[in-house]
């Protein structure tokens, strides 16, 4: 019986392709999970701003967007700070 080189074995090549494809799909699922979590956090933050300032969803998103741009912090991180701390650094009532 002769040894089979791992790089020349068609079965091993196919297994490697499948493993790479599986890793890619796992990465996509993880990214989707992060996106959903981020979306939920932004939604919570928008709701807090809507209640606090009696504004609509677009205005609440505008506040988050402005705070994100001004502080050079990702929008979902600004939203997380608001939900966690009940405040956005350096932001007061928009009225």
**The domain spanning residue 43 has which CATH number?**
1.10.10.10
In whole angstroms, what is the distance from residue 60 CA to residue 46 CA?
5
- The answer to whether residue 16 is domain-embedded is yes
Could you tell me if residue 36 is inside a domain?
yes
Region for 86 from its dihedrals, namely left if φ exceeds 0, alpha if ψ lies in -120 to 50, beta otherwise? left
**pLDDT score at 94:** 54
Q: What is the pLDDT of residues 2-45, one digit of tens each?
A: 444 556 899 999 999 999 998 988 888 888 888 777 899 999 99
Residue 41's domain spans which residues? Answer: 12-85
Q: Which band of pLDDT confidence, cut at 50, 70 and 90, is reported for residue 1? A: very low
The domain tally of the chain equals: 1
Confidence of residue 51 (pLDDT cuts 50, 70, 90): very high
| 80 domain residue, yes or no | yes
Give the span between the Cα atoms of 63 and 48, in whole angstroms.
11
Is residue 3 domain-resident?
no
Residue 43 confidence (pLDDT): 96
Quick check: pTM over 0.75? no
Does residue 2 belong to any structural domain of this protein?
A: no
40 part of a folded domain: yes
Q: Do the domain assignments include residue 1?
A: no
Q: For the chain, give the mean pLDDT.
A: 86
Query: What's the alpha-carbon Rg for the chain, to the nearest Å?
Result: 23
70 within some domain: yes
Return the closest-CA partner of residue 63 out of 74, 73, 75: 75
More confident residue, 68 or 32: 68
């Amino acid at each position: 019986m002769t040894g089979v080189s791992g790089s020349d074995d068609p079965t091993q090549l196919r297994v490697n392709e499948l493993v790479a494809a599986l890793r890619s799909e796992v990465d996509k699922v993880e990214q989707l999970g992060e996106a959903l979590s981020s979306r939920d956090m932004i939604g919570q933050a928008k709701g807090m701003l809507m209640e606090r300032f009696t504004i609509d969803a677009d205005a609440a998103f505008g506040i988050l967007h402005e705070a994100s741009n001004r502080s050079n912090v990702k929008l979902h991180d600004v939203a997380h700070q608001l939900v966690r701390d009940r405040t956005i650094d350096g932001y007061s009532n928009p009225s």
